Amino acid sequence: MPYLNAPLTNARLRRSVRAWLAGLSIAFALMAVGGAAQAQTQPRPAVEAAPQAVPGFWDPRRRPDRPDMSRLTVIRFLTETDYPPFNFTGADGNPAGFNVDLARALCDEIKISCTVQMRRFETLVDAITSNRGDAIIASMAVTPALRARLDFTDPYYRAPARFVSRRDAVMPEIRPEYLEGKKVGVIAGTSHEAYLKAMFTDAELKSYPNDDALRLALRRSEVDFIFGDAISLAFWINGTDSGECCAFSGGPFVESRYFGEGIGIAVRKGNDLLRTSLNWALFRIWEKGRFTDLWLRYFSISPF
């Protein structure tokens, strides 16, 4: 069924985020230097239904053993060229963004040299399989098709789904019975639409052809809620295009059947040493609070 693959398509998520992040690379560079841009965009009070949350998929009771990393001498990370705030070219011309900073934190934790090279997203898998790099850290969604070609670390974030309402109608929790008779907008043909049809059977669904039409419907109060990809919605809520109209209602929905397995770091098939080393380092970074600090630097409104 095609809708089950919709949330796992990196191209769709990249197009969605770019639509609201065009021109923001400079702003993120300023944030890294002194936070000036962030200060300009956050004077209004927060109206989120829940406090800022940071994704964490590491169980403290399942602490991974430190692998023997003596055979690791360098990690050649590959990332994509234009997917802010995850990957972009910084003001100094060097790779920047959440994924780039995470890669550097991993190398620091492992105590190893690393490089970060930017490539077009569609070339990354071939570059790894032909030994032109060691690991892909580029917000790559884990799919069965990619698992056939690559191995992946544990997920370090997901692309959850969330509801958005107008600011004067925020609900702290959303259950199917709460939306009985409510008009809910969603993009036609997506996993988000399939999920609503399966789980929110008493809501009145309104399908739209694209993100622009969907969000305009909410701004005009043609629907009570919209439902979609939380990462792109977070940037829209905090950006100028929203006109400060709206906020998240309820929490994230992360059912893997509809919204994917998560985002992991890809390595060549059979490279268990690198995969387990990165898993160990991811856990250590999370345990020390460094992952939280990094996440909050880039996401002023959390998709979670």
At 76-85, the pLDDT tens digits run 999 999 888 8
The encoded tokens of residue 110 equal 């492992």
Residue 303's CB is within 10 A of a number of other CB atoms, namely: 22
59-63, 94-98, 276-280: least confidently modelled range: 59-63
At residue 52, does pLDDT exceed 70?
no
- Read off the pLDDT of residues 135-146 as tens digits, 9 standing for 90 and up: 999 999 898 899
Distances (CA, A) of 226 to 179, 203, 218, 266: 12, 12, 7, 33
- Read off the pLDDT of residues 145-163 as tens digits, 9 standing for 90 and up: 999 999 999 999 888 899 9
Q: Give residue 6's pLDDT band: very low, low, confident or very high (50, 70, 90).
A: very low
Non-local (6+) Cβ contacts of 123 within 8 A are none
CA separation for the pair 84, 28 (Å, rounded)? 9
Could you tell me if 304 and 231 are in contact, meaning their C-beta atoms sit under 8 angstroms apart?
Answer: no
The encoded tokens of residue 203 equal 């809501």
At residue 44, does pLDDT exceed 50?
no
Residue 255's CB is within 10 A of a number of other CB atoms, namely: 13
Could you tell me if 258 and 161 are in contact, meaning their C-beta atoms sit under 8 angstroms apart?
Answer: yes
Tokens 């998709």: give the residue: 303
CA separation for the pair 41, 37 (Å, rounded)? 7
The predicted model gives 170-197 an average pLDDT of 96
Segment holding 77, helix H or strand E: strand 74-80
Tokens 């600090």: give the residue: 293
Residue 38's CB is within 10 A of a number of other CB atoms, namely: 14
At residue 218, does pLDDT exceed 80?
yes
CA separation for the pair 4, 166 (Å, rounded)? 28
Three-state DSSP state, 24: coil
How far from the centroid of its chain's Cα atoms is residue 84's Cα? 11
Q: Do β-strands 161-166 and 225-229 pair in parallel, antiparallel, or remain unpaired? A: antiparallel
pTM over 0.75: no
- Give the whole-number percent of the chain exceeding pLDDT 70: 81
61-75, 171-185, 212-226, 269-283: least confidently modelled range: 61-75
How many Cα atoms sit within 13 Å of 84 on the Cβ side?
18
The strands making up 263-268's β-sheet, listed across from edge to edge, are 113-119, 74-80, 135-141, 263-268, 150-152
The encoded tokens of residue 299 equal 């996401």
Could you tell me if 251 and 144 are in contact, meaning their C-beta atoms sit under 8 angstroms apart?
Answer: no
CA separation for the pair 115, 117 (Å, rounded)? 6
